[in-house]
Amino acid sequence: MVSVESSVKPSRARVVAFSGSAKRPSRTRILVEALGAELGRLRGIDLAVYDLIDAGPGLGATQRDDLSAPAARLIEAIEAADALIVGTPVYQGGYAGMFKHVFDFVDPARMIGMPVALTATGGGLRHALVVEHGLRPLFGFFAAHVAPTSVYAGSDDLVDGRIVDETVSVRLRAAAAELSALLDVSRTAASGPSA
């Protein structure tokens, strides 16, 4: 049997970056965009960035069939992604309630094995564990493949729309590299065993 190499290049990964902030501009969006940009430096991606407000007031529905068209598009974009970058502001020591509400509508079967990078923003270091104690278990429920490195930025880490803390920058680079590797693993798994 003769093996024929395919000259078709793999398609660019569809990456959705979702900021669970209820306002724009926001520090959370800056963080998810920065992680998306870092991932884009490592590999070709098609990046779509969404904010919570892109869903509009129709996100207040309790059943998926009742979502407004903008809210349904947000959920569909998340489900159709090859990878997710998610970020939430920290409220009262936890992730934002409406951030979680978005994922209440996501079909768990569509999240199995999806590469995900986790980020959060808050007022100070005492909020940093929200990523580990809130976000990681949430995406563990979905059986997503979560990048080991999470990124948290406090109010002093972002100034005038820029990341000014070197530790945050280092973690962004690490999370992007891990997400890129997870994308490779998920694509290999999706293509099945090679002959």
The tens digit of pLDDT for each residue in 120-135 reads: 999 887 788 899 999 9
* DSSP string covering 22-49: SSSS-HHHHHHHHHHHHHHHHS-EEEEE
Alpha helices in the chain (DSSP H): 27-42, 69-80, 97-104, 108-111, 130, 136-141, 166-191
Statement: 13-187 belongs to CATH 3.90.190.20: no
pLDDT number for residue 6: 44
Q: H-helix or E-strand containing 162? A: strand 162-163
Which sequence spans correspond to the domains of the chain? 13-187
The tens digit of pLDDT for each residue in 141-170 reads: 999 999 999 999 999 999 999 999 999 999
pTM of the predicted model, to two decimals?
A: 0.90
- For residue 70, whether the previous peptide bond is cis, meaning omega lies within 30 degrees of 0, is no
pLDDT number for residue 195: 44
Q: What is the mean pLDDT of residues 29-53?
A: 97
- The residues facing 13 across adjacent strands are 45
Is 129:96 a contact under the CB 8 Å cutoff?
Answer: no
Is 69:102 a contact under the CB 8 Å cutoff?
Answer: no
* Segment 131-134 long-range contacts (CB within 8 Å, at least 24 positions apart): 134/88, 134/94, 134/95
The tens digit of pLDDT for each residue in 71-90 reads: 999 999 999 999 999 999 99
Is 85:91 a contact under the CB 8 Å cutoff?
Answer: no
- The better pLDDT of the pair 58, 52 is held by 52
CA gap 127, 122 in Å, rounded:
6
Q: H-helix or E-strand containing 107? A: none
